Structure 1
Amino acid sequence: MATIDIEQTRNQAKALLNSRIDSVTELVKTRQRITDLREQLAEAEREDKRAYVRATKDGWSPEELKKLGLESDAAGRRRKSANRASATAPTEDVSHSAQ
């Protein structure tokens, strides 16, 4: 029977674990990046809302802003959410078996 080299086995095991640690480290980094970007997006949306309100207070009507391609972002989000919800809504099975 062949002898087992403990040091070689430990080194192989460490190499396998390091590979697993590297992959989970990369996953944590990407998840943190997503979190950071979501926070940046939320802040940008708040700034956009303030700027829109400021523009309307300065005399721009919502209709004028819309003609300029600057409609209220909240209206755009509502429309997109409604479209997304209808696209992902489960369909009801309307076939019934006679009993």
Structure 2
Amino acid sequence: MTLNIDEAERAARALLDNRITSVRALVEKRTALDEHRELLATLERQDAQAYAAALRDGWTADELRKLGIAEPEKAGKPRRKAAPKSATGGSAG
């Protein structure tokens, strides 16, 4: 079988086009996810501020709970994933 450079190039471009399409879709989704996380963080801050304002205006946490309004969740630090354990590292015991 004789290789044809034009056919090989077309085949390679088709493969690359598929890969580029999947990367484009991934980047679009990650961008949207980041934007939504930022929006969520903003809304959580605003919720906490509104809750604090209600407390300043004389409501108690217990009264708000009785109204079905829970205390805002505390924003914690993002958890870091533990480093993967090496199959060859460390000693057993």
Name the TM tier (shorter chain): 0.7 to 0.9
Query: Would you say 1:28 and 2:27 are equivalent positions?
Result: yes
| Cα offsets for 1:26-58 (capped at 9, x unmatched) | 111111111111111100000001100111111
CA–CA distance in 2 between the matches of 1:4 and 1:53? 73
CA–CA distance in 2 between the matches of 1:25 and 1:56? 47
CA–CA distance in 1 between the matches of 2:73 and 2:7? 61
Q: Number of matched residues?
A: 76
| CA RMSD, 1 decimal | 1.7
Which structure has greater helix proportion? Answer: 1
Query: Would you say 1:73 and 2:72 are equivalent positions?
Result: yes
Q: Which residue of 2 aligns with 1:94?
A: none
Q: Which residue of 2 aligns with 1:17?
A: 16
After TM superposition, what 4+ stretches of structure 1 lie above 4 angstroms from structure 2? none
Q: TM-score, normalised by structure 2?
A: 0.73
Percent of pairs with identical residues: 41
Q: TM-score, normalised by structure 1?
A: 0.69
* Counterpart AA for 1:24: V
| Cα offsets for 1:32-85 (capped at 9, x unmatched) | 11111111110000000110011111111111100111121126x78xxxxxxx
Q: Which residue of 2 aligns with 1:85?
A: none
Q: Which structure is higher in RCO with an 8 Å CA cutoff and minimum separation 6?
A: 2
1:73 partner SS: coil
In structure 2, stretches of 5+ residues that fail to align are 77-93
In structure 1, stretches of 5+ residues that fail to align are 79-99
